[in-house]
């Protein structure tokens, strides 16, 4: 008996979370917890269900990832994470030992499946295409809120987390160094925004109204996280004239940050397309993401 106690004492305990307070992703409830080391974890079966694989057997997810079609898209780092589930003790008296995975793994898995679909290897496999559709929906959810924010709200941990920890979480989204520029904001984003604002759009011109950056901060980066945008502003160097010498998106990590940013862009573009005027877009944006309508900034060329 003493041996079992010592073994249990070496396992991390969850300080927040309950099976009665799961997060809900696409009508699927997933148990989530915050551990004493501040790590956010999801239950393995819940994560499996979120991908549309059901919860009956905990080995279904492993079989999917061992599939010869999917396996080439899994990085060695992710493979190690998947092979090392986290054991922890649930909150409360007599808390049982459970197993889960770092919450950041779920967006990474979605990215793996979507990359496989993009390459065309899933086209002959209807079941895998359905899983890819589920991953696309999950990615949209993460773009709107973020898996960490979802867990913190469900477990109540958002009330106690510190400013320093928020900055620590941003390391999942922000790279340690600038990534070489690549086209991230599609032309359609600017074309629709110029239409709504009544500006003349020239795809060959690099000139943009000064207020464009403020609007992009509001409808793209601030929706992901105000803290994220502030951190990007701090990190991005400026010229002697006070202008940024790099784009914010060059800081976004390729495995998590960039896919989430692109998901937010696609959602906003859809809202723009269905909006006949800037006022209509303001209202549609407020309905989609909550909060006040977008402020009308002073417009300068």
Lowest mean pLDDT among 69-83, 133-147, 220-234, 276-290: 133-147
CA distance 242 to 234: 13
pLDDT given at position 9: 59
CA distance 57 to 44: 10
252 forms beta bridges with: 174
CA distance 161 to 38: 9
Q: Model's pTM, two decimal places?
A: 0.55
Residue 3's Cβ-side half-sphere holds a number of Cα atoms within 13 Å equal to: 0
Q: Give the sign of the dihedral formed by CA 91, CA 96, CA 97, CA 101.
A: negative
Unique residue bearing structure tokens 């006949």: 276
CA distance 21 to 32: 8
CA distance 263 to 273: 16
The mean pLDDT value for 29-39 works out to 85
Instruction: Specify whether the backbone of 94 is left (phi greater than 0), alpha (psi in -120 to 50) or beta.
Output: left
Instruction: Specify whether the backbone of 89 is left (phi greater than 0), alpha (psi in -120 to 50) or beta.
Output: beta
> Contact 268/219 with Cβ under 8 angstroms?
yes
Summarize pLDDT for 193-208 with one digit per residue, the tens.
999 999 998 888 777 8
Nearest by Cα to 143 from 265, 36, 29: 265
Residue ranges per domain, the chain?
Answer: 2-161, 187-289
The mean pLDDT value for 146-160 works out to 73
pLDDT at 101 over 80: yes
pLDDT given at position 167: 62
> Contact 20/156 with Cβ under 8 angstroms?
no
> Contact 200/208 with Cβ under 8 angstroms?
no
pLDDT given at position 8: 54
Q: What is the DSSP string of 42-104?
A: EEHHHHHHHTTS-SS-TTHHHHHHTSTTTGGGS-HHHHHHHTSPEEEEPSSTTPPEEEEEETT
Summarize pLDDT for 51-92 with one digit per residue, the tens.
888 766 656 777 888 888 898 998 888 888 888 889 999 887
């Amino acid at each position: 008996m003493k041996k079992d106690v010592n073994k249990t004492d070496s396992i991390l305990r969850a300080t927040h979370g309950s099976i009665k307070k799961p997060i809900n992703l696409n009508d699927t409830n997933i148990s989530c917890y915050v551990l004493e080391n501040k790590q956010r974890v999801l239950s393995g079966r819940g994560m499996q269900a979120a991908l549309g694989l059901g919860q009956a057997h905990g080995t279904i997810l492993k079989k999917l990832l061992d599939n010869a079609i999917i396996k080439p898209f899994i990085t060695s780092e992710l493979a190690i994470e998947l092979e090392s589930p986290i054991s922890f003790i649930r909150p409360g008296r007599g808390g049982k030992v459970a197993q889960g995975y770092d919450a950041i793994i779920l967006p990474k898995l979605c990215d793996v499946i979507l990359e496989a679909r993009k390459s065309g290897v899933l086209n002959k496999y209807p079941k895998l295409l359905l899983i890819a559709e589920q991953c696309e929906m999950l990615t949209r959810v993460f773009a709107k809120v973020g898996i960490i924010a979802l867990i913190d709200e469900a477990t109540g941990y958002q009330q106690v987390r510190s400013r320093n920890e928020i900055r620590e979480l941003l390391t999942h989204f922000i790279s340690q160094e600038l990534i070489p520029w690549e086209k991230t904001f599609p032309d359609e984003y600017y074309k629709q925004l110029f239409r709504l604002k009544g500006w003349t759009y020239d795809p060959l011109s690099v000139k943009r109204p000064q207020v464009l950056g403020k609007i992009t901060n509001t409808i793209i980066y601030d929706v992901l996280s105000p803290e994220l945008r502030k951190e990007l502003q701090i990190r991005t160097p400026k010229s002697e004239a006070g202008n940024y010498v790099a784009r914010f998106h060059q800081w976004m990590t390729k495995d998590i940050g960039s896919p989430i940013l692109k998901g937010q862009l696609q959602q906003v573009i859809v809202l723009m397309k269905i909006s006949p005027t800037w006022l209509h877009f303001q209202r549609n944006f407020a309905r989609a993401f909550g909060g006040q309508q977008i402020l009308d900034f002073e417009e300068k060329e």
